[in-house]
Structure 1
Amino acid sequence: MKKTRLLPLLLLASLVSIYIACQRDDYGSLPSGPNPAEKTQISISGRVLDDENLPVNGALVKAGNLTANTDLNGNFQIKNVTLDANASFVKVEKAGFFSGSRTFKGTKGSTHYVSIQLIKKNDAGSFASDAGGDITVPNGGSVSFEAGSIIDAQTKSPYTGTVSVSAFWLNPTVDNFLEIMPGELRGVDENDKQVGLQSFGMMVVELTGASGEKLQLTGSKPATMKFPIAPAQQASAPATIAFWSFNDTTGLWKQEGMATRQGNEYIGKASHFSFWNCDAPFTLVDFKATLKGQDGNPVKGFRVVLKTADDETGPTASSYTDTAGVVAGLIPAGRRLKMTVFGKCNDELLSQEIGPFSAATDLGNITVNIPADSKVTFTGEILNCSGSPLQNGFADIGIQGKFERAPIVNGVLNYSFIRCGSNDTKASVRITDIGNSIIGGIKEADVIANVASLGEITVCEEDLGEYLIYTMDTISRQFLPPADTAGVYTSELYHYVYHAKRDTSDAFYLQFTPDASGTVFTPGYSYVYVRKIMYLGIEPITLQITEYGAQGEYIAGKFSGKMRAENNAILPINGRFRLKRM
């Protein structure tokens, strides 16, 4: 079944064809932009995923003056928080990721559900602050910096040194665009009016100094940003378009001038860095409907999808019903729309045409026939490699495209969740032993009558086949080929254990030299990169080779020692590997 993305109804605007000219004065009379802040008390629940649709554990979630942390499954809940009713805003932060957020219209007394997908930070490149430089964004676009344009974000003093750049281009035509972009596509234009936005390209940029300090632009020397125009939008992309930055305090976009099209790129000037967006504005109207089941009770947490009824390839967006069964938001005025309601297993429960609307609209109660839930339960006895009950770990479970992370306590796995359908099928299970930093191999489990009895599972490194696992002070890293690039490479004089991400934000290097008999191994130069920060090995590193295969076979071993950080701090490191000899 085709996956439909989950986001606020306002974001229907994100892919709207330009049926209104892009001049600033062409989109009519709108309500004032930053509406007087009418406050409301609501609750928020939601889930945070990474770019591989896996749950993000331990992320910090902020809404108003309250905070929460995501659990093993990326879930969180914030109760009874007072927020702006017009633009309720929730923000998520996690080390190694750009911040994520969601903006929506809050309904007093209700619990609203949000879904947020975080973008992993990358290493787009670096330049000397006194010289400036051109940075190519890894997945599209570029940013050019003037000499002397960088300041310390906290002290506001000029910064001299190497500037590291993380940057990511958000393609508005990809399936998960509405999940990874911040807030929602609603902004305040230069005339102080609120408008809906259709994105023709978005980018996030962050700057970091040599000591990890956050950097910013001076403001007087803007950076030049180039945004690719996606092929599907090149025919309709206008010659000039409004240029917007995201305000992560209000949760709304703010217009800051215009961007100009050159070929199949938009070029704009940014005076500071956050998310930037090339958008065409249009008029919005309020929309509301209340969904109830066949028993008359509110339909909670169901997804409602809207798309243009007269254009199958046109805009689409979705939002969840709250605890009162209400789905509400802002939609384009004057368009016929198709409204579809999906169940928790992505099954279509209702489809009907609505609109066009020229003013605020409440459709009232809509009845939806809801099928019974189907729950699956996974059980098992989980042992560590010594044969004792695993004390601290979790199981990643995948079944029919749905992923859950189940806790393991005192060697017991007993976890239930709603699945799609009730037919017998197969599931994948991978166990992680947190205490010993070991990830087990993937096990296939039979699901019969909605029960998966895994029996006894022992978690050992040998299950993996290939791995590079190490702990440096409080930092733990695990790399598992073929998903991760890692191996033992051979030169004429020595071997070296090596891993590096494509963006070079994480890397590992350990050199060692075998004697003529291949029985004595002398360790040499070593280093580690963690989020672009380099740590150099202090010799001698202790190395024990436990398996030494020929070319194309495996080399395995254990190592320990000390690494020196850029600030001269000394950190202990220990780890193990079993990798193919290249």
Structure 2
Amino acid sequence: MKYNALSIFLCIAIFFFSACKKHDNTDLTVTPPSPPAAVVEMEISGIVLNTNGSSAEGVEVTIEGKKLTTAENGYFEYKGSVANPDKVKLTLAKNGFFTYTKILTVDKYSSLDGLRFKLIPELVAGSFEAANGGTVSNNYVALVFQPNSFTKLDGSNYLGMVTVKIPANRFNESNRQFPGDVRGLTATNQKVVLESWGGMEVEIYSASGEKLKLSKAVNYTYQIGYQYVYIRNPVKLWAFNEADGIWTESGAANLVGQTFTGSTVNLSYLQWAYARPSALFRSRVQDKNLNVPAGFEFFYAMSEFNSIGIPSTNVNSRGNVLLYVPALTNLRTGMFSPCTDRIETNYTTPAIPEGITGGTTYTVDLAPFLTSVTGTVEDCDFKPLNGRAELAIDGKKINSVLLNGAFNLSFIGCGRNSGTLTIFDGQDKVIYQNNTFSPNRGYKNNLPPITTCTKPLIGSFSIKAEGITYNFQSPQDDIKFQTIQDYSGSLITAISANNDTRGESFYLTYIGQSAGNFNVYTCQLKVPKKSYFLTWGLFTPGIVNITRYKTGNTLLEGSFKTNTNLNFDLSNTNKIVELTGTFKVSN
């Protein structure tokens, strides 16, 4: 078997920092959970991000009145019942950011995973005395406040300094910043869905930081950013009712060119939108083997209109999509993976009558996302452990019981996002954690054995080259042992010794996981001014003889003999030096 010398060297030389992984396609079946007997049990989970996309820790997440706090990785998880599956309220709150409430429509006895939210920073747009009123503006909106038009939440007049906070950028449904969902309530209490053409958030505060309300209308001028040829007057202004979790009609708006103008006494989240008759879109998404893409984002857009509103929801654990949509309107649908891979559903959904639940079944190709992670867990005595393995990735968690130390985590995911692989013992105590674990999407990832042993390794190496013997001994020298995988999936044993003070280091790898004789895979001894390196393709590698492997407290013990190339001089094959040595590594 021929290898490229330089690529083999570079891959193995950094084996302490990365591992080569097996690419083995596999079919995985995701079975929907069986429903419990009584209450509406739900699991809702996801992650919260900062504006720059980093994880947002310490965000207060309230679901069904239960308060949660996001972990270091931004993750939150709710388990419990919901009073009304048609309208589950999820609220995010953190100092320095606008409070955000999302309304979810869920399925009974299912989970809704992979939700992703991004915090919106509060930015001060301007301040003025309440008695004088004032004008506040940024790059997309101007607000003209009348004098003496402010009240406290208890209804009393406020006459101090007013501070106005507005986000840096305008909202649209595509960037998932609108609260609630698409449902609205007209001035005549008609239930509708909204076709949005843009929006924003405005909050007004007193000098002490208390929220204020308006007693007189504020005049606004809002730049929509694009010229939409389908917009027709009159467009309605809608304000989000936080208590009821619904958009309410808040007056007409006039469109001139790319500018909405009008006035309102309702401030908070605002959007400009048409009202359309409402229907509930309920559909199933699956592949040909009935696997469902739980946690993937499903969206719709209207075929004959060109709004910037592209409402979406996540596919739940049963493969169902629940979305309120405009009735009597043909819809175009699509789906994104958690890594924003666009997945075409190739369907235009026929119009659904008003007030009716309708939909279809979409069959999609999920083969690129069917993923599994398998491995074993052992202690310092190389004995298998009981407990469980958990992988938190793409805003969801996958669990597997350790059976004789072995685990199998199967899921449908994007794989380009790293996750956290955690091993728990039988008392559910964390005994191992990898916060940057990145499985290969669409493959069966067979991991090398995971050890929970935290004892420093004890080792001794004796290496001979050109009549000189170089010795390495712990603890003064750094001894390492690791199992990695090559590109074919074969497990490679790797040992090394290093002393930076002396400028000496040694590493040796071979394919094998037992006692016996094996071909040397790579080998290098570095000392001041000299480097002895096994170069594949220039001559036949030597033999490693392992006399003890994972016996007692010994990881491995043995000897080796191989030819090497001096100073990595590929142009001169005469600089061949024989290396021999013995080694022992123990816990």
Q: TM-score, normalised by structure 2?
A: 0.55
Task: Note if contact 1:134-1:143 (Cα within 8 Å) is conserved in structure 2.
Answer: yes
Q: Secondary structure at the match of 1:84?
A: coil
Task: Note if contact 1:222-1:271 (Cα within 8 Å) is conserved in structure 2.
Answer: yes
Report whether the alignment pairs 1:199 with 2:196: yes
Distance of 1:364 and 1:198 partners within structure 2:
22
Structure 1 residues 411 and 287: CA distance shift in structure 2, 3 A: closer
Q: Hey, what does 2:224 align to over in structure 1?
A: 229
Distance of 1:341 and 1:97 partners within structure 2:
29
Q: Hey, what does 1:249 align to over in structure 2?
A: 243
Q: Secondary structure at the match of 2:270?
A: strand
Q: Secondary structure at the match of 2:209?
A: coil
Task: Note if contact 1:170-1:202 (Cα within 8 Å) is conserved in structure 2.
Answer: no
1:293-351 deviation line (CA, Å, top 9, x unaligned): 44435442223233445679986443211121111112223333343344455445552
Match of 2:210 among 210, 213, 223: 213
Q: In structure 2, what residue type is equivalent to 1:306? A: Y
Structure 1 residues 345 and 159: CA distance shift in structure 2, 3 A: closer
Q: In structure 1, what residue type is equivalent to 2:217? A: P
Distance of 1:180 and 1:404 partners within structure 2:
25
**Counterpart mapping for 1:240-319 below 5 A:** 240-308=234-302, 316-319=310-313
Q: Hey, what does 2:161 align to over in structure 1?
A: 162
Task: Note if contact 1:337-1:356 (Cα within 8 Å) is conserved in structure 2.
Answer: yes
CA drift of 1:400 comes to: 9.5
Q: Hey, what does 2:110 align to over in structure 1?
A: 110
Distance of 2:171 and 2:118 partners within structure 1:
15
CA drift of 1:161 comes to: 2.1
**Counterpart mapping for 1:320-359 below 5 A:** 320-347=314-341, 351-359=345-353
Structure 1 residues 243 and 356: CA distance shift in structure 2, 3 A: same
Structure 1 residues 421 and 54: CA distance shift in structure 2, 3 A: farther
Task: Note if contact 1:43-1:78 (Cα within 8 Å) is conserved in structure 2.
Answer: yes
Distance of 2:295 and 2:118 partners within structure 1:
18
Q: TM-score, normalised by structure 1?
A: 0.55
Q: Secondary structure at the match of 1:339?
A: strand
Q: In structure 1, what residue type is equivalent to 2:87? A: A
Q: Secondary structure at the match of 2:227?
A: helix
Q: How many residues align?
A: 366
Structure 1 residues 266 and 169: CA distance shift in structure 2, 3 A: farther
Distance of 1:226 and 1:314 partners within structure 2:
19
Structure 2 unaligned spans of 5+: 1-38, 376-413, 423-429, 444-484, 497-587
1:146-187 deviation line (CA, Å, top 9, x unaligned): 11112233x4322222211101376456851xx111112220
Distance of 1:314 and 1:197 partners within structure 2:
11
Q: In structure 2, what residue type is equivalent to 1:239? A: N
Q: In structure 1, what residue type is equivalent to 2:52? A: E
Q: Hey, what does 2:120 align to over in structure 1?
A: 119
Q: Hey, what does 1:89 align to over in structure 2?
A: 89
Report the aligned-residue RMSD. 3.9
Distance of 1:88 and 1:72 partners within structure 2:
25
CA drift of 1:231 comes to: 1.8
Structure 1 residues 254 and 313: CA distance shift in structure 2, 3 A: closer
Q: Secondary structure at the match of 1:227?
A: strand
Report whether the alignment pairs 1:373 with 2:394: no
Task: Note if contact 1:402-1:419 (Cα within 8 Å) is conserved in structure 2.
Answer: no
Distance of 1:104 and 1:174 partners within structure 2:
15
**Counterpart mapping for 1:23-172 below 5 A:** 42-113=42-113, 114-137=115-138, 139-153=139-153, 155-168=154-167, 171=170
CA drift of 1:80 comes to: 1.5
Task: Note if contact 1:196-1:281 (Cα within 8 Å) is conserved in structure 2.
Answer: yes
Distance of 1:200 and 1:347 partners within structure 2:
25
Task: Note if contact 1:201-1:228 (Cα within 8 Å) is conserved in structure 2.
Answer: no
Task: Note if contact 1:227-1:267 (Cα within 8 Å) is conserved in structure 2.
Answer: yes
Q: In structure 2, what residue type is equivalent to 1:128? A: E
Q: Secondary structure at the match of 2:202?
A: strand
Structure 1 residues 256 and 347: CA distance shift in structure 2, 3 A: closer
CA drift of 1:258 comes to: 1.3
Distance of 1:305 and 1:41 partners within structure 2:
25
Structure 1 residues 251 and 166: CA distance shift in structure 2, 3 A: same
Distance of 1:339 and 1:175 partners within structure 2:
14
Structure 1 residues 311 and 227: CA distance shift in structure 2, 3 A: closer
Distance of 1:448 and 1:255 partners within structure 2:
62
Distance of 2:305 and 2:130 partners within structure 1:
49
- When Rg is computed on C-alpha atoms for both structures, the one with the higher figure is 2
Distance of 1:270 and 1:101 partners within structure 2:
21
Task: Note if contact 1:172-1:199 (Cα within 8 Å) is conserved in structure 2.
Answer: no
Q: Hey, what does 2:379 align to over in structure 1?
A: none
Task: Note if contact 2:88-2:105 (Cα within 8 Å) is conserved in structure 1.
Answer: yes
Q: Hey, what does 2:542 align to over in structure 1?
A: none
Q: Hey, what does 2:30 align to over in structure 1?
A: none
CA drift of 1:73 comes to: 2.0
Task: Note if contact 1:186-1:194 (Cα within 8 Å) is conserved in structure 2.
Answer: yes
Q: In structure 1, what residue type is equivalent to 2:266? A: H
Structure 1 unaligned spans of 5+: 1-38, 378-398, 423-446, 456-582
Structure 1 residues 77 and 100: CA distance shift in structure 2, 3 A: same
Q: Secondary structure at the match of 2:81?
A: strand
Structure 1 residues 263 and 340: CA distance shift in structure 2, 3 A: closer
